[in-house]
């Protein structure tokens, strides 16, 4: 059996709690202006950190009387086909009565499902409007935190019609709200609007959110010290080591994310970085960033979601976040 105790609390480092920029505020103002034009909001969140990549500011964009909302979790490829975590997530959404999908945005086949859902919402809209389609097309606003995959999704939706949106692995690639982009089969009248990723201002954020967002790439890569990011990753990995397995090798197989050549799990980030260092002159920051960039599967980046079911309620969490947002916005 693994004789190892993970840390149950992460040290309180002094880190920036927000990366909210002028173009993001401008985007929020533009959404207000666009409200009468779009019909459906696709809100993208990162499946690895569903709580941290849920942006309460984007709730204000949806007017339930006029808009439908579909949550799309990206990076489906980060988890195996079946996982108890994904089952729990489905239950939480059922609790919230929030419709959602999980996709790998880079693959057209996964995207076909979204296109079928959009067609279904389009049809619903037509039914509510005496069989009439919106004169300027059925418009879909794609929103979400930076780097969650909005532009990648739009390019995949375009398929052979060609890429139109710039994408990249750093947060903040899309800087302004796009014009309407045609997607789907010809003549279906569906248009998508790409938008810049919007983060949370400091008043609505905190250090644990920021750490999860940093690990998801939703903020500038070096905004939070890479050493601290690596330590947080180690903390989360250790919390998710499969206890009860006989050997570390088995544990490693289940969680293929633990750093190379491991003989024993550790809580010491220095030990991990030293193990990964390619030459003695490589800096801690550079080793940490290389490790952070490695793809790892099955790792949940919101620690609340690791709590036993009885100790965490998604409904309560969302209600508290919305209450706090309303209070802050009133000030
Ligand atoms: N593995 C994986 N990578 C993805 C997925 N979706 C997007 N990516 C990658 O994530 C990175 C960011 O994608 P973008 O489409 O530029 O993200 P964005 O939301 O438009 O980002 P901003 O414009 O900065 O707000 C790119 O490197 C994509 O290849 C996914 O489902 N799985
Ligand atoms: Mg983009």
- Beta carbons of 298 and 80 less than 8 angstroms apart: yes
Q: Report d(CA 33, CA 316) in Å as an integer.
A: 31
pLDDT of 328: 80
Is the C-beta atom of 155 inside 6 A of ligand 1?
no
Residue with tokens 């947060």: 171
Is the C-beta atom of 146 inside 6 A of ligand 1?
yes
pLDDT of 2: 55
The two structure tokens encoding residue 62: 């949806």
Testing ligand 1's pocket by substitution, the residue of 102, 103, 144, 147 carrying the most ligand atoms inside 8 A of its CB is: 147
DSSP letter for each residue of 35-99: TTT--EEEEEEETT-TTTT--HHHHTT--TTT-EEEEEEE-GGGS-SS-HHHHHHHHHHHHHT--
Q: Please tell me the distance between residue 130's alpha carbon and the centre of ligand 1 in angstroms.
A: 38
Q: Please tell me the distance between residue 104's alpha carbon and the centre of ligand 1 in angstroms.
A: 10
b/e burial code for range 189-204 (CB count within 10 A of at least 16 → b) = bbbbbbbbbbbbeeeb
Three-state secondary-structure class, residue 183: strand
Ligand number nearest CA of 48 is 1
Is the C-beta atom of 226 inside 6 A of ligand 1?
no
Q: Report d(CA 119, CA 121) in Å as an integer.
A: 5
Q: Report d(CA 268, CA 234) in Å as an integer.
A: 8
Question: Could you give the C-alpha distances from 11 to 8, 15, 190, 220, in angstroms and in order?
Answer: 10, 11, 48, 22
Domain range summary for the chain, segments of one domain joined by + = 22-193, 202-330
pLDDT of 109: 78
Residue 213: which H helix or E strand, with range?
A: helix 207-216
The two structure tokens encoding residue 331: 């000030």
Q: Ligand 1: which residue has its CA nearest to atom 10?
A: 149
Question: Could you give the C-alpha distances from 226 to 129, 229, 231, in angstroms and in order?
Answer: 52, 5, 8
Q: Ligand 1: which residue has its CA nearest to atom 13?
A: 149
Testing ligand 1's pocket by substitution, the residue of 107, 157, 164, 168 carrying the most ligand atoms inside 8 A of its CB is: 168
Residue 293: which H helix or E strand, with range?
A: helix 284-293
Is the C-beta atom of 147 inside 6 A of ligand 1?
yes
Q: Please tell me the distance between residue 72's alpha carbon and the centre of ligand 1 in angstroms.
A: 13
Q: Report d(CA 139, CA 40) in Å as an integer.
A: 7
Is the C-beta atom of 173 inside 6 A of ligand 1?
yes
Q: Please tell me the distance between residue 168's alpha carbon and the centre of ligand 2 in angstroms.
A: 8
Report phi then psi at 232, rounded to 5: -65, -40
Residue with tokens 């088995």: 250
The neighbouring-strand residues paired with 101 are 72
Q: Angle of helix 207-216 relative to helix 226-239, nearest 10 degrees?
A: 90
Q: In sequence order, what are the residues at sequence separation of 6 or more whose Cβ sits closer than 8 angstroms to the Cβ of residue 277?
A: 287
Three-state secondary-structure class, residue 103: coil
Q: In sequence order, what are the residues at sequence separation of 6 or more whose Cβ sits closer than 8 angstroms to the Cβ of residue 9?
A: none
22-193 belongs to CATH 3.40.50.300: yes
Residue 279: CB atoms within 10 Å:
6
Q: Ligand 1: which residue has its CA nearest to atom 30?
A: 75
Q: Please tell me the distance between residue 219's alpha carbon and the centre of ligand 1 in angstroms.
A: 13
Q: For each of the chain's 331 residues, which pLDDT tens digit applies?
A: 557 889 999 999 999 999 999 999 999 999 999 999 999 999 999 999 999 999 999 998 999 899 999 999 999 999 999 888 999 999 999 988 999 999 999 988 788 899 999 999 999 999 999 999 899 999 999 999 999 999 999 999 988 888 889 999 989 999 999 999 998 776 778 999 999 999 999 999 999 999 999 999 999 999 999 999 999 999 999 898 775 555 555 555 555 556 765 667 889 999 999 988 999 999 999 999 999 998 778 899 999 998 888 888 889 999 998 898 888 877 6
Testing ligand 1's pocket by substitution, the residue of 103, 146, 164, 167 carrying the most ligand atoms inside 8 A of its CB is: 167
């Amino acid at each position: 059996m693994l004789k190892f105790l993970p840390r149950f609390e992460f040290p309180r480092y002094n880190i920036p709690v927000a990366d909210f920029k002028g173009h993001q505020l401008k985007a929020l103002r533009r959404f207000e202006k666009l409200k009468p034009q779009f019909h459906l909001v696709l809100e993208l969140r990162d499946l690895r950190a569903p709580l941290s990549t849920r942006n309460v500011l984007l709730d204000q964009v949806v007017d339930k009387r006029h808009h439908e909302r579909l949550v799309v979790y990206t990076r489906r490829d980060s988890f195996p086909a079946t996982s108890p975590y994904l089952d729990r997530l489905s239950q939480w959404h059922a609790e919230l009565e929030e419709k959602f999908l999980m996709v790998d945005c880079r693959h057209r086949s996964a995207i076909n499902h979204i296109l079928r859902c959009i067609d279904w919402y389009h049809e619903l809209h037509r039914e509510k409007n005496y069989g009439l389609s919106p004169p300027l097309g059925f418009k879909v606003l794609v929103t979400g935190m930076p780097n969650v995959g909005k532009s990648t999704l739009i390019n995949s939706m375009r398929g052979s019609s060609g890429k139109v949106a710039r994408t990249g692995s750093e947060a903040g690639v899309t800087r302004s709200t796009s014009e309407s982009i045609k997607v789907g089969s010809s003549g279906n009248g569906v248009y998508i609007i790409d938008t810049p990723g919007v983060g949370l201002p400091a008043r609505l954020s905190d250090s644990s959110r920021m750490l999860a967002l940093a690990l998801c790439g939703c903020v500038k890569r070096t905004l939070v010290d890479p050493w601290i990011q690596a330590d947080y990753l180690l903390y989360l990995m250790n919390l998710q080591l499969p206890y009860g397995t006989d050997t570390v090798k088995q544990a490693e197989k289940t969680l293929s994310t633990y750093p190379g050549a491991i003989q024993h799990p550790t809580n010491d980030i220095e030990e991990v970085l030293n193990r990964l260092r390619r030459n003695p002159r490589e800096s801690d920051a550079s080793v940490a960033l290389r490790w952070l960039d490695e793809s790892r599967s099955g790792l949940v980046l919101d620690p609340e979601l690791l709590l036993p079911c009885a100790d965490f309620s998604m409904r309560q969490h969302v209600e508290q976040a919305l209450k706090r947002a309303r209070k802050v916005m009133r000030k």
